[in-house]
Amino acid sequence: MVINGTHYDGDFAVRIDNQILTFTNTKDIPDDFEHLIKFAPICPPPPHTDEDHEHLGKMHDKFKELMEIEKNHASGN
């Protein structure tokens, strides 16, 4: 899953079949998982430019995208 071709480095974890899998880039997170356990992208250091704020906003979009995968898994979709 990719929003506008954007991936993020950081610390991420999901649960699949009672196992916690960890990742260092969002591009490696599978398209189906049971729960998003950790979402900790590396943020640009302050002070933030307008470009940084746009980047941070896209991080939030990526978080919502991953939460949608969790929600769809829970509903069986």
pLDDT of residue 54: 87
Averaged pLDDT score across all residues of the chain: 89
What predicted TM-score, i.e. pTM, was given to this entire model?
A: 0.84
Give the CA-trace dihedral at 48, 36, 1, 73, to 10 degrees: -150
What confidence tens digit (pLDDT) does each residue in 38-59 have? 999 998 889 989 988 888 889 9
Q: Where are the domains of the chain?
A: 9-75
Question: In the structure, what pLDDT confidence band is assigned to residue 76 with cuts at 50, 70 and 90?
Answer: confident
